Amino acid sequence: MPDRDAALEALQRELTAVARRARQKAAQMHPDLSLVTYSMLDLVKERGSCRAADLAAYFMLDKSTVSRQVNALEKLGLLAREADPDDQRGQLLRPTEDGLRVLAEAAEQRRRAFTARFDDWSDQDVARFAGYLARYGSAD
């Protein structure tokens, strides 16, 4: 077990470093976006639209926290609200053209960074690593 314990400690340390780098990269992509707000905008784009309650549930955050993040994205002109056609009391969130542009630029930056980071890895190593991460992520 000592080898497994050491490996688990190394994994925790490395995953923490990855999260730290992700927060730093989010700030570099747009100075006014935190990793949380960027992630919310990205999820809204992925879904086409959603309600703030959907974001709260997905990210397991309090509705007031999501409300502050959504307001920040609106003030930056990256997210817009519109009436929910299925429930006139509700509002759907959609990325604006500027929001889509910011996300596209960020995706291109990420693609270049990933390409460079894995440049000296074999295709098999990249595929294996992707599989391991998917397996880790689905273990909830």
pLDDT for 48-97, tens place per residue? 999 999 999 999 999 999 999 999 999 999 999 999 888 878 899 999 99
pLDDT tens column, 105-139 = 888 988 898 899 999 999 999 999 999 989 988 87
Q: Report the SS3 class of residue 82.
A: strand
DSSP class per residue in 42-78: HHHHHHS-B-HHHHHHHHT--HHHHHHHHHHHHHTTS
Domains of the chain: 2-137 (1.10.10.10)
Distance between CA atoms of residues 55 and 35, nearest Å: 14
For residue range 11-45, list pLDDT tens digits in order. 999 988 888 887 777 777 777 788 888 899 999 99
* Residue at token pair 């960020």: 106
Q: What is the pLDDT of residue 107?
A: 86
Return the H-helix or E-strand segment holding 96. Answer: none
* Phi, psi for 94 (deg, rounded to 5): -135, 145
The pLDDT assigned to 21 comes to 83
